[in-house]
Each structure stands twice: as structure tokens, then as C-alpha cells.
């Protein structure tokens, strides 16, 4: 099985301390009457949950008393209320509040219970309903759901549970036999024992878990595993083990949608499992199927008010599904419930949600909150810079980007980001300085060079559009084009940079040449001659970019160069 539902591992040192105070057997001394024997199984009835904090404990107390009367002490020892309450108080727990699942399991182990009953009480009108589970202490993922019981008072609402518990326990001997046989690798006999337990109690989940485990050990087919898991899910839709195995079987069969649905159901039973949450969200993102996920998590949140783990799960699923406004509202609610969840990733995700919801100002505000809380996180400052630029605060974005670089001088695309901002502010010279820094910092050379090429190309096109053409306009493009040529690795882009240098140099040479007869200027003649030489070199090197145009330029340079050479000889009185 590749998917495992894991419980939170919490330290219960207080339980251990209380156990030491109570002695080796926390169950306490029994009355003088004949009590349980050394091998008598023990059951613990945990404190039930209820909204009013009263009905739950009352129902649990009543069930504990009824079970003590229903089972002979030698057949099953029900750990008494006094022992439980004293133990909880000694451990620092409120005896009228239900423990968490992992704490319940730990308490049962310390009190040496073989199994325990956990439950919850809800009231609808004048009727109290009790939902309960028989849980094996050795593994609290192995539970048997019991039929609901109702009554007009909490103590009367548990009356039907006694018979349900008696029936459910009919499978326990066969469950133990199945486990022992499986450990001895007597798989056929183990399956037989499980089937006998199912015959004794048709709604049994505990023996079915053993049978499912045997099938896993036997490396049964995915079809067999899925069939057994579905039997359990028909009885207990929230079974972690069955959901995990069913999800794996469906995934192996290529039924991705069904597998994702099962994974979401599994996550709803263990919402704080970060690894499982990542698996589920990634799976949903890959299949683009969020409908079932949202239905399950919204229902789970409604049924478990105040459960921050479920709210966190709802936030992740709504964010992944593109329900931006509900996701934003859920995220803000989540961090109000637990401020520790407002980590760097939260602010980045919240900012992205605002941006996706076309709220760039709110996106920037979210990242501003993040940088205030985590002022030394370079990545947050970089994202903040981007959100500021997207919100039209370009100058402020440069300051934020420089803050990121001050924290981490080698942060990827830090200087490139600044260059883009300077370019948008129509400060190309500053943009070129930033691009040189980006190249030195190790940013992607093709990205850096291509951005410089785009600026140089813009200046080149503006110069071509002028009439008459001015050498200075083409010269403005050359620093960007030369930088692009020296930086870009991609052959095609590099060839384009060379070609534009060649064409720009031709226009510079020809424009200057047209005025030489009037200016008679030696320096201008030398400048035109050098430009013509550059044009010949770079046009030939980048000619593949536009072969026809390159041919025309080279032809024109071939005619212009002799004239410029003569002009230099005539106008420049060079010393021997």
C-alpha cells in the first residue's frame, strides 16, 4: 500500500506521569466482590463529544454503567468512571471534554484497555442521537462503527448501544485468530477465521481489516483488494485503511478520477496530514477535477466547526480549483483561527489568489504583510516587487527588488526583474546597467541577452522610421545590441543581434557619408569607415537571419567602402 493515513504523533508525558502516580495498573483496585481475572479483556468508554459539553459526558457515563451490568466481570471488565476521571484530572485534561483521537488511543493503552468506545452526541429537536465506534487499542485506525442510538435524554439515548456493542464484539475472537494465523503466514486459515467472524457479525469491519491485510500480504490482484476495501467502505465510509487501498487500486487500474475522489475522502479523515494533502491537491490539479473535493471538504468543515485542519484543507482545495474569492475568504479565516499558519507560503499563495482574481493592489498588500512578518526572506521581497509592478507601482517595485538582492545577492532573476522595471519607466540606460549586473549574478544568459536585444531592436526600428535617418539614433541601439551579442547563447537569437548591429552600422556609415562633402570632417570620415567595416563583419556573421536583406546590405557596403577609404585619405592628414 503506497498511501497511508497517519495520525498526529503528540507527546503525552502527562499521561505517563499520571500512570506512575496511579501505579502499574491505572484501572485501580476493584471492589471486594469477585472481579475480572488476569486475562479478562478490558474496555474503556471514552468521554463523548457534544456541543454543550454536558450531553456527551452524561451519555458516556450512562453507557459505562449499562455495559458494566450487561457483561459479567469475568467476561469483560469495563474500566470505571472514577478511575477514568481521576486519571484525566491527574493528567491535566478536562474530564468533560473529548480527547483527540491520538490522545484517546494513548489513554487506552496506558489504562490497559484492549479496546474502547468513542462517540459523539448530537441533538435535533428533542431527540438525542449517539454515534459511536468500537476501536481497537493496538491501532486506532481499526474501528467498528456502531448503529446510531436515540432517546429523549442523553442517558436514554445509549440504551440500544449495549446490544450493538455485544453484537460487534462477536467478531473479536475470530479477529485475534486471523491476526495470529496471518503472522504465522497461514493465510488460508486466516481468511477462514475472518470469514467466520463475518458470519457471526455481517457488518464486521475489524475481521475484514484482517482479511484485507492478508490479501495485501498475498499480493492479491487490485480487483480483489478493491472488492475487499469496498466491503469495508460500505459499512464505514470513513475507513482510512480501506480508502487508502481503494485509492491505490483505482489508480493502478487507471481510474484517476475515482482514485482522486477516494483520496479526498481519505484526506477529510486526516486533514492535518501535510504529505497526504500535497498528494491530493497535486492529483486533483493534474486531473482538473475539483467538484467532489469541494463538496467533501465543505461538508466536513460544516460538520466540524472550529477544526482548523479542515479549514486549511478547504483553503488549499479552493485555491487549487480556481475559486479565488472563496479561497481568499477561507485563507483569511484560517490564519485568524491559527496565526502560526500565516507562514511565508501562505502569504505567497494569498497574493497569487488576489492577482488571479484581478485584484493587483490586494495582491501587493498581501505580500506587504508577508515581508513585514518575514523581513529577511528574499523570495518574499522579490514576489512583493512583482506584485507592486503589476499594481502600477513600478518605482516602488525596484526598491523591493533591491531589498531582495540585499538579502540574497544571487537570487535568481533579481537584477533582470529590476531591468524590466527600469525599461517600463523608460529608463533604458538604467535597464542596461541592471542587465549587466544580472549577467554577472548568473541569471539566464538567453533571458538577459534577449531582453537587451528587445530594447536594442526597439531603438533600431525607431531610427529606421526617421526621415532623414540620423546616425545618433542608430548609435543609441548599439550598446544593447552588442551586449545581447556578447551574452546570448542561442545561435538564432545571437545571429539576430549580429544582423541588427550590421544593418545599424550600415545606416550610420551611409548617413555620415552623405554629409562628408559638406563637412570635410576627418573624424566623421573615420567614424563612417569604422561603421562600414563593422557592418561588413556583423552582417556576414548574422546574414542567416535575413539572407536577402543581408545580401543587399553587403552589396551596398561594397560600393560605399571605397568612397569612405578615399575620403579618409583626402580629409585626414595622417602623419607617416
CA–CA dist 317, 223 (Å, integer): 30
- For the chain, residues with pLDDT lower than 70 are 1-34, 272-275, 278, 281-282, 285, 574-576
C-alpha grid cell for residue 217? Answer: 500480504
- For residue 30, the model assigns a pLDDT of 42
The secondary structure element, H or E, covering residue 144 is strand 143-145
- Domain residue limits, the chain: 22-162, 255-341, 343-443, 466-571
- For residue 576, the model assigns a pLDDT of 43
CA distances 505 to 276, 352, 462, 509, 521, Å, are 61, 45, 15, 6, 19
Burial call 447-477: b when 16+ CB within 10 Å, e when fewer: bbbbbbbebbbebbeebeeeeeeebebbbbb
CB 476 within 8 A of CB 463: yes
The secondary structure element, H or E, covering residue 366 is helix 360-373
CA–CA dist 107, 26 (Å, integer): 10
CATH topology of domain 22-162: Rossmann fold (3.40.50)
Is the domain covering 255-341 a CATH 3.40.50.800 domain? no
Query: Please, what sign has the CA dihedral across residues 530, 531, 536, 537?
Result: positive
Half-sphere exposure of 455 (CA within 13 A, CB side): 31
- For residue 271, the model assigns a pLDDT of 75
CA distances 168 to 131, 135, 165, Å, are 14, 11, 5
pTM attached to this predicted model: 0.60
Chain segment 322-352, per-residue pLDDT in tens = 899 999 999 999 999 999 999 999 999 999 9
End-to-end CA distance of the chain: 90
- For residue 123, the model assigns a pLDDT of 93
CA distances 323 to 78, 101, 265, 330, Å, are 50, 32, 20, 11
- As to burial, measured by CB atoms within 10 angstroms (0-12 exposed, 13-18 middle, 19+ buried), residue 96 is middle
Q: Do domains 255-341 and 343-443 have the same CATH topology?
A: yes
Residue 128: beta bridge partners?
123, 151
The CATH number for 343-443, chosen from 3.60.15.10, 1.10.287.1080, 1.25.40.10, 3.40.718.10, is 1.25.40.10
* Residues 6 or more apart whose Cβ sits within 8 Å of residue 18: 26, 87, 90, 91, 110
Amino acid at each position: 500500500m503506497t498511501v497511508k493515513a497517519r495520525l498526529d504523533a503528540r507527546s503525552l508525558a502527562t499521561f505517563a506521569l499520571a500512570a506512575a502516580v496511579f501505579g502499574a495498573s491505572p484501572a485501580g483496585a476493584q471492589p471486594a466482590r469477585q472481579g475480572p481475572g488476569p486475562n479478562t479483556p478490558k474496555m474503556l468508554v471514552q468521554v463523548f463529544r457534544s456541543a454543550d459539553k454536558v450531553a456527551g459526558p452524561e451519555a458516556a457515563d450512562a453507557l459505562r454503567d449499562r455495559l458494566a451490568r450487561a457483561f459479567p466481570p469475568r467476561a469483560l471488565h469495563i474500566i470505571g468512571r472514577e478511575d477514568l476521571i481521576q486519571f484525566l484530572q491527574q493528567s491535566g485534561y478536562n474530564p468533560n471534554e473529548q480527547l483527540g483521537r491520538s490522545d484517546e488511543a494513548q489513554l487506552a493503552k496506558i489504562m490497559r484497555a484492549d479496546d474502547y468506545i468513542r462517540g459523539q452526541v448530537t441533538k435535533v429537536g428533542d431527540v438525542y442521537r449517539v454515534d459511536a465506534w468500537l476501536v481497537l487499542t493496538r491501532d486506532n485506525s481499526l474501528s467498528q462503527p456502531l448503529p446510531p442510538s436515540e432517546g429523549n435524554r442523553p442517558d436514554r439515548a445509549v440504551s440500544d448501544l449495549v446490544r450493538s456493542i455485544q453484537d460487534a464484539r462477536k467478531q473479536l475472537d475470530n479477529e485475534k485468530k486471523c491476526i495470529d494465523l496471518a503472522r504465522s503466514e497461514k493465510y488460508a486459515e486466516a481468511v477462514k477465521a475472518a470469514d467466520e467472524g463475518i458470519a457471526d457479525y455481517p457488518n464486521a469491519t475489524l475481521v475484514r481489516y484482517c482479511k484485507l491485510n492478508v490479501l495485501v500480504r498475498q499480493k492479491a490482484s487490485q480487483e480483489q483488494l478493491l472488492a475487499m476495501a469496498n466491503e469495508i467502505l460500505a459499512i464505514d465510509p470513513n475507513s482510512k485503511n480501506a480508502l487508502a487501498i481503494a485509492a491505490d487500486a483505482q489508480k493502478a487500474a487507471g481510474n484517476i478520477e475515482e482514485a482522486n475522489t477516494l483520496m479526498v475522502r481519505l484526506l477529510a479523515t486526516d486533514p492535518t496530514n501535510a504529505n497526504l494533502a500535497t498528494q491530493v491537491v497535486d492529483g486533483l490539479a493534474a486531473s482538473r477535477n475539483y467538484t467532489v473535493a469541494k463538496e467533501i471538504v465543505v461538508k466536513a468543515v460544516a460538520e466540524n466547526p472550529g477544526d482548523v485542519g479542515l479549514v486549511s484543507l478547504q483553503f488549499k482545495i479552493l485555491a487549487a480549483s480556481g475559486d479565488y474569492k472563496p479561497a481568499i475568504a477561507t485563507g483569511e479565516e484560517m490564519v485568524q483561527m491559527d496565526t502560526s499558519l500565516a507562514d511565508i507560503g501562505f502569504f505567497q499563495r494569498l497574493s497569487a489568489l488576489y492577482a488571479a482574481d484581478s485584484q493587483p493592489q490586494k495582491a501587493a498588500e498581501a505580500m506587504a504583510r508577508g515581508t513585514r512578518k518575514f523581513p529577511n526572506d528574499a523570495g518574499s521581497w522579490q514576489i512583493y516587487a512583482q506584485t507592486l509592478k503589476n499594481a502600477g507601482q513600478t518605482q516602488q517595485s525596484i526598491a523591493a527588488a533591491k531589498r531582495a538582492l540585499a538579502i540574497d545577492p544571487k537570487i535568481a532573476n533579481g537584477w533582470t526583474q529590476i531591468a524590466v522595471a527600469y525599461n517600463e519607466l523608460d529608463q533604458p540606460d538604467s535597464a542596461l546597467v541592471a542587465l549587466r549586473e544580472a549577467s554577472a549574478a548568473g541569471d539566464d544568459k538567453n533571458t538577459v541577452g534577449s531582453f537587451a536585444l528587445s530594447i536594442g531592436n526597439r531603438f533600431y526600428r525607431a531610427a529606421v522610421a526617421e526621415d532623414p535617418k540620423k546616425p545618433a539614433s542608430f548609435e543609441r541601439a548599439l550598446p544593447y545590441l552588442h551586449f545581447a551579442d556578447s551574452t546570448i547563447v542561442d545561435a538564432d537569437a545571437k545571429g539576430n543581434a549580429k544582423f541588427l548591429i550590421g544593418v545599424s552600422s550600415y545606416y550610420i556609415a551611409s548617413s555620415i557619408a552623405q554629409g562628408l562633402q559638406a563637412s570635410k570632417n576627418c573624424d566623421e570620415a573615420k567614424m563612417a569607415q569604422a561603421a562600414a567595416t563593422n557592418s561588413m563583419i556583423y552582417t556576414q556573421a548574422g546574414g542567416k537571419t535575413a539572407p536577402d536583406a543581408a545580401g543587399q546590405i553587403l552589396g551596398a557596403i561594397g560600393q560605399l567602402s571605397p568612397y569612405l577609404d578615399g575620403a579618409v585619405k583626402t580629409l585626414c592628414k595622417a602623419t607617416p
